[in-house]
Every structure is written in structure tokens, then in C-alpha cells.
Amino acid sequence: MLETAPQPGFTDPAIQSQAAFRAVMDAMARPGRIYKAPELITAPAPMNPVAAMIALTLVDFDTPVWLDHGLAQSEDLNRFLAFHTGAPVTSDKTEAAFAFFANPQKLGDIANFALGTDTYPDRSTTLILQVEALTNASGETLKGPGIETERRLGVAPLQPDFWQMAAANAALYPRGIDIIFCTATELACLPRSTRIKQGS
């Protein structure tokens, strides 16, 4: 029996999930541009409000979810996700449709997630990374679809070799994973189609 009821999700799911999706869609279509999250969902720690918004918007019984150590440890969070999304939690990275990281400094090798196949590149994992800060003032230079000329994106904190892994991921195009960064209030995306020019 539940000792405490899970925390509430959307109060008006059709309307709020639409606003949330629209922010994610706009962000995915304009890689690196930082969007304010329209809805903030209070989820059990260590999941942040924007990651929770994304989970409740995109995840359901059709999408196996992988959780990093910190998230997987939280029984409350597991209950929260089970109650609101019904998504199966998997420990098999290649099976995950979405993978959530509370600690972006411990990603391991992101190429261990599902990368899609040449015939079905869409059968890949989308990573949701909780970070502290996003900025367009400094960081890596991004180019590609959705970016008129170039756009800079700084993300902190990250595993030190993250941008090398991201560049290797982009080189797999059209295979590869897509990444959504979220702070406690904002989000930005890095789809596989984005080319990364490393620099100061």
C-alpha cells in the first residue's frame, strides 16, 4: 500500500502538455536556443521540474525509460513516474526510448544507448540531462538545420568528454541520439543533426 500519494502532475493535462510540447518542439527545431519551460512540475528529488514536465508530456506505456543512479534510487520518483506515465523502467540502455540523468557529470558513454539503425534512425534514445546552467553567450558553436548561421551553447556541468561524445554522435547522422538539457526553469536541445564546432 502507498504510504503517501504521489505528488500531482498536470492539473489540466491536455492544455499544459500542449504548452510543454510546444516548448520542446520549438527547442528541438532551433538547436541551442534556450526556452523557458511553460510548466514546472514538482517531482520527487532528484528530478527537476523541467525534466518532470518533459516526462509527463512525452513518456507513457509505449516508451521504456532508463534512469541514472540518483533517479533510480528514489522510490518516490519511481512511484511518481509509474503513477503519472505508466512507463516501464528499464536497465537496458539499448531498449530505452528516454533516458533521464540527474547527474550529467556521470553519463558514461552515450553511444551505449539506442542509436537507431540505418533503415530506422528514429528508433533511438532521447537523453534528458538535468544541468545547472545554460547560456548562449559562450560555449560550443553549433551549426546545422534549425540554426540560421551559428549559435553558441554553454552547458554546465557536464562530463568532461561530453562534447567529444556529442561530436561523435553527430558524425553518426542520421543515426544517433537526441539530447534535451534542462535546468530548473529552462530547456535547450541538441538533436543529432547539429554539427559541433568546439572552441572557447
Partner 1 sequence: MSLDTLSSEPPAYNFAYLDEQTKRMIRRAILKGIAIPGYQVPFASREMPMPYGWGTGGMQVTAAVIGPEDTLKVIDQGSDDTTNAVAIRRFFDRTAGVAMTTHTAEATVIQTRHRIPEEKLTDNQVLVFQVPIPEPLRFLEPRETETRKMHALSEYGLMHVKLYEDIARHGHIATSYAYPVMVEGRYVMDPSPTPKFDNPKMHKMAALQLFGAGREKRIYALPPHTEVVSLDFEDHPFSVQDWPDTACAMCGAEQVYFDEVILDDKGGRMFVCSDSDYCEARQAEGHFGAAHAHHQEAAE
Which chain residues interact with partner 1 by CB under 8 A?
13-15, 17-19, 21-22, 24-26, 28-30, 57-60, 62-63, 97, 117-122, 124, 126, 144-148, 173-174, 178, 191-193
CB of 57 to partner 1, least distance (A): 7
How far is residue 127 CA from its own chain's centroid? 4
Report whether 169 contacts 176 (CB < 8 A).
yes
CB of 117 to partner 1, least distance (A): 8
Report whether 64 contacts 72 (CB < 8 A).
no
Residue (139 or 191) nearer to partner 1, CB: 191
CB of 92 to partner 1, least distance (A): 19
Report whether 11 contacts 111 (CB < 8 A).
no
CB of 114 to partner 1, least distance (A): 12
Q: What's the rounded Cα separation, in Å, for the pair 52 and 44?
A: 9
Tallying the residues shown for the chain, one arrives at 200
Q: What's the rounded Cα separation, in Å, for the pair 115 and 174?
A: 9
Residue (7 or 17) nearer to partner 1, CB: 17
Closest CA to 104 of 150, 165, 146, 44: 165
Residue (58 or 110) nearer to partner 1, CB: 58
Residue (86 or 108) nearer to partner 1, CB: 86
Residue (97 or 99) nearer to partner 1, CB: 97
Residue (3 or 118) nearer to partner 1, CB: 118
Residue 161 CB coordination number (10 Å): 12
CB of 95 to partner 1, least distance (A): 16
CB of 82 to partner 1, least distance (A): 16
Report whether 89 contacts 74 (CB < 8 A).
no
Using alpha carbons, list the distances in angstroms from residue 165 to 7, 138, 172.
35, 19, 11
